[in-house]
Structure 1
Amino acid sequence: MRSMLLTVAALLAATTIGGCSITDWLRPYRIDVRQGNYVTPEMVAQLKTGMSPDQVRFVLGTPLVVDPFHRNRWDYFYRFKPGRGEATEHRLTVLFDNGVLAELQGDIEPAPADRIVPPKRVIEIGTEQQ
């Protein structure tokens, strides 16, 4: 009886000690957090100097920050924080001069021309004159 009790105690101790090393699955689930404007290299490659602000907004979306003191500067910022791991951040600043795109600054490089997929169908929208 005593040997059986010692065996059960040893197994219980081994299981308890072994269970302490497997705590990764005990941590709660954490969601991935995405904040800001997701701007891809393909989107940046579509931008050309001389584009109007409306054309830039069509390609990139509404900027995250439009500074009222610097109306010629739009800032696009994206931050991704996975549930486990380090956060990554990307910035793109669009500068206009005289109402047209003049310069791009940031850490998002344009995609090579061979990676850009043209649209399957082009729809021209115009106003009919009567």
Structure 2
Amino acid sequence: MQLNTLILPVLLALPLAGCGLVYKVDIPQGNYIEEKQVAQLRQGMTKEQVQFLLGNPMSLDGFNNDRWVYMYYFQPGRGDKEQKQLILEFVNDGLGTVSGDFPLPEAFYQGI
């Protein structure tokens, strides 16, 4: 009888002890862009040059082909979510403005 009183609590506690050991997968989505890539952007760059530097945009505006949106979303298995956005506006087939979560490079207005 004493063996049953010891085994039952241990068996009931085992599933609860394993809950903290479950592996949760990291989920990255979108375009991962580093600040060093954004630092290479210059006003007047062509769409081809920007695409070579940053890759394909995540979203193109259906009504305005001159607005490119790069988005990155990262949900770690444990911890806080990370979301970054970079919006590029082209004027006359050249890069005009940059906005979003990345700082504008100091050399941006120096042109290419």
Q: Matched residue of 2:41: which SS?
A: coil
- The TM-score, its normalising length taken from structure 2, stands at 0.78
Q: CA deviation at 1:30?
A: 3.8
**Change beyond 3 A, Cα 1:110–1:42:** farther
Task: Please name the residue that 2:61 is paired with.
Answer: 67
Task: Please name the residue that 1:24 is paired with.
Answer: 20
Q: Matched residue of 1:101: which SS?
A: strand
Residue 11 (1) aligns with residue 6 (2):
yes
Residue 96 (1) aligns with residue 66 (2):
no
Query: Any gaps of 5 or more consecutive residues in structure 1?
Result: 113-130
Kept in 2, the 8 Å contact 1:41–1:111? The answer is no
For CA contacts below 8 A with separation 6 or more, give which structure has more relative contact order.
Answer: 2
Q: CA deviation at 1:110?
A: 5.8
Q: CA deviation at 1:78?
A: 1.0
Which one has a bigger Cα radius of gyration?
Answer: 1
Query: Any gaps of 5 or more consecutive residues in structure 2?
Result: 107-112
Q: CA deviation at 1:41?
A: 0.6
Per-residue CA shift, 1:56-87, capped at 9, x if unaligned?
11110111111131111100011112234443
Which aligned pairs between 1:78-117 and structure 2 lie closer than 5 A?
78-109=72-103
Q: Identity over the aligned pairs, expressed in percent?
A: 34
Q: Matched residue of 1:56: which SS?
A: helix
Per-residue CA shift, 1:18-54, capped at 9, x if unaligned?
42541223x4x44322211111111100101111111
- The TM-score, its normalising length taken from structure 1, stands at 0.69
- Structure 1 stretches of at least 4 aligned residues deviating more than 6 Å after TM superposition: none
Q: RMSD value over aligned CA atoms?
A: 2.4
2:39 & 2:56 partners in 1: Cα distance? 17
Kept in 2, the 8 Å contact 1:43–1:59? The answer is yes
**Change beyond 3 A, Cα 1:110–1:14:** farther
